[in-house]
Chain A
Amino acid sequence: NAGVMQNPRHLVRRRGQEARLRCSPMKGHSHVYWYRQLPEEGLKFMVYLQKENIIDESGMPKERFSAEFPKEGPSILRIQQVVRGDSAAYFCASSSGNQPQHFGDGTRLSIL
């Protein structure tokens, strides 16, 4: 069952380090979305990508955060110089255009 695969499942970083989160979409899906879930908060949309293109990054913080979905390989969400407030669960979803988004099981990021 080739669902949305995210890794690592858990990631611990010290303040100032970089965090790299990876997402492989479901087979046949070319649309990838990243969401962040803070404790006691709902899922918040961050960015929507298609292969080699960022379609909508309206939910992405302007600094330190970037995302890519290269022609080959997984989508990457990169957080530079992490701070305590970046601690959250980061979820990736994929779809095939006008179809429901299917989610991975997330990466839990903890900042020491």
Chain B
Amino acid sequence: EDQVTQSPEALRLQEGESSSLNCSYTVSGLRGLFWYRQDPGKGPEFLFTLYSAGEEKEKERLKATLTKKESFLHITAPKPEDSATYLCAVQAVRGGGADGLTFGKGTHLIIQP
């Protein structure tokens, strides 16, 4: 069974204080690892897809990295608008590659001004 564990569950940072969120996974063959951002009352918003160990993706203050067992979402000099729940999900190598995702419970990030 595919599993995704995210840590910490919650993180409070001061504006400008950089940090990293962790996503550990076990999957029977990884097709892709996904990061989403979810704001209260909204659906998940796609951020990144990572496919193989060593891959990195960047977008503004966010950078996602991938190893064979975990992924990190690095947040550099965050701003209050970066406050959200960040979700990690995996897609296994099964079927035609368009399968459902297995999500972690998320990290609730609060950036204080």
By a beta-carbon cutoff of 8 Å, the part of chain A in contact with chain B is 4, 6, 31, 33, 35, 40-48, 55-56, 58-59, 91, 93, 95, 97-98, 100-106
- A4-B43, A42-B87, A106-B43 known; A101+B101 contact, CB < 8 A: yes
What is the distance, in angstroms, from B50's C-beta to the closest C-beta of chain A?
A: 11
B78 interface residue (CB < 8 Å to A): no
What is the distance, in angstroms, from A50's C-beta to the closest C-beta of chain B?
A: 9
Q: Are A43 and B41 in contact, with the CB atoms below 8 A? A: no
B72 interface residue (CB < 8 Å to A): no
Complex Cα distance A30/B19, Å? 38
Q: Are B46 and A101 in contact, with the CB atoms below 8 A? A: yes
Q: Are A91 and B43 in contact, with the CB atoms below 8 A? A: yes
What is the distance, in angstroms, from B37's C-beta to the closest C-beta of chain A?
A: 11
**Residue on B with the closest CB to A47?**
B100
Complex Cα distance A86/B103, Å? 20
- A4-B43, A103-B45 known; A43+B103 contact, CB < 8 A: yes
Contacts of A44 in B (CB 8 A): 103
By a beta-carbon cutoff of 8 Å, the part of chain B in contact with chain A is 4, 34, 36, 41-46, 49, 87, 89, 95-106
- Other A-B contacts than A6-B43, A35-B101, 19 sampled, CB-CB below 8 A, are A4-B43, A35-B103, A40-B105, A41-B105, A43-B89, A43-B101, A46-B100, A48-B100, A55-B95, A55-B98, A56-B95, A56-B99, A56-B100, A91-B43, A91-B44, A101-B46, A102-B46, A104-B43, A105-B41
Q: Are A97 and B98 in contact, with the CB atoms below 8 A? A: yes
Complex Cα distance A6/B105, Å? 23
Q: Are B103 and A95 in contact, with the CB atoms below 8 A? A: no
Instruction: Sort A-B residue pairs by CB-CB distance and give the 8 closest, nearest first.
Output: A45-B100, A103-B43, A43-B103, A42-B105, A42-B103, A105-B43, A103-B44, A98-B97
Q: Are B98 and A48 in contact, with the CB atoms below 8 A? A: yes
Contacts of B98 in A (CB 8 A): 31, 48, 55, 95, 97-98
What is the distance, in angstroms, from A28's C-beta to the closest C-beta of chain B?
A: 14
**Residue on A with the closest CB to B46?**
A100
- A48-B98, A97-B97 known; A43+B44 contact, CB < 8 A: yes
